[in-house]
Amino acid sequence: MVIIFLVIGIVGCKSEVLNGKEIVAIKLECSDLCKKTPNAPFNQKILTDIDEIKIFERSISKAVKMKGELDYDVMFMMYVSFEDSTQKKFVLNVDDEAGRTALLVDTADSGQGYEIPKDQTNELRKIIYND
């Protein structure tokens, strides 16, 4: 019984958001809001480095489903490509300000958000903003 709960806890959001699929590439696009900031990191960035992809997978798997209605602007559009040649589109809001959490939204269900914990957000921030 304990093993089943551990597996469910570890898989958590990853199975719900990623459907258990393995990521092979991630494309990030800076939205209009991102481009208006004085520290816009890029227009578009494609991630294929295995270590960076693992950080994104871990961040998504640890994301916590949020309650209530969302009201958000879009910082980055994130296109996730999987090993089976399928793709999912997300909104990813990661601010350059340390200590904040990130917001992840699957565009197929734009009313449901997931909060990425601070530790994982910090890892994403390093990749996105080259800190």
Helix (H, G, I), strand (E, B) or coil at 68: coil
Report pLDDT for 5: 32
Name the pTM for this structure. Answer: 0.84
88-97, Cβ contacts within 8 angstroms, sequence gap of 24 or more: 88/18, 92/28, 92/124, 94/121, 94/124, 94/125, 94/128, 95/125, 96/37, 96/39, 96/41, 96/125, 96/129
Q: pLDDT, tens digit, for every residue of 66-109? A: 998 888 999 999 999 999 999 999 999 999 988 899 999 999 99
Q: pLDDT, tens digit, for every residue of 5-49? A: 333 333 344 446 677 889 999 999 999 999 998 889 999 999 999
* Burial tier of 8 (Cβ tally within 10 Å: 0-12, 13-18, 19+): exposed
Report pLDDT for 16: 64
